[in-house]
Amino acid sequence: MAIILRLDRVMADRKISLNELSEKVGVSNVNLSKLKTGKVSAIRFSTLNAICTALACQPGDILEFIPDQENTNI
């Protein structure tokens, strides 16, 4: 299972910087940067809620599921 984070694309579409999003969401630049680059293994719903509110988007705009090849026959 692969969950791809598309936060960078949504931020670019909204023309918002990491610093500006960090201020609006209340999450450090470091943590948002890790999220933006996909170097996280979990995200709190409260953080996802704050990001979606700040970017006026849906969670599906930020997260994308790509199934593994081995699991396609289940």
Q: Which domains does the chain have, with CATH numbers?
A: 2-67 (1.10.260.40)
Burial category of 29 from C-beta neighbours within 10 Å (exposed 0-12, middle 13-18, buried 19 and up): middle
Nearest of 65, 5, 36, 64 to residue 27 by alpha carbon? 36
58 vs 17: CA distance, rounded Å:
19
Q: Which two tokens stand for residue 25?
A: 């969401």
Digit-coded pLDDT (tens) for 22-73? 999 999 999 999 999 889 989 999 999 999 999 999 999 999 999 887 655 5
Identify the band that residue 74 occupies on the pLDDT scale cut at 50, 70 and 90. Answer: low
The per-residue pLDDT for 22 is: 96
Q: How far apart are the first and last CA of the chain?
A: 13
pTM of this prediction?
A: 0.85
